[in-house]
Amino acid sequence: MPIYRYYCEECKKEYKMLMSMKDEDPKCPECGKKMVKQLPRIQIKSNTGSSCSSGSCSGCSGCSS
């Protein structure tokens, strides 16, 4: 089973949980509200060898776009 990151918009807390792909999104352990699954962070390498951890270019010196 993979580990997913969830965020509670009510408590503003992030949790990592071991979940089956078939499971419904869990409820927050603090407040009981339904949590939102976070997208995985991806790392993009440019031709210069630097990397962006945000997954999108924001004009850093390592990006060529």
7 pLDDT above the threshold of 80: yes
Query: Where in the chain are the domains?
Result: 3-52
- Residue 45 φ/ψ region, left for φ over 0, alpha for ψ in the -120 to 50 degree band, beta for the rest: beta
Asked whether 1 and 16 are in contact (CB, 8 A), the reply is: no
Separation between Cα atoms, residue 46 and residue 7, nearest integer Å: 30
Q: What percent of the chain lies above the pLDDT cut of 90?
A: 38
Region 33-52: mean pLDDT is: 73
pTM above threshold 0.85 = no
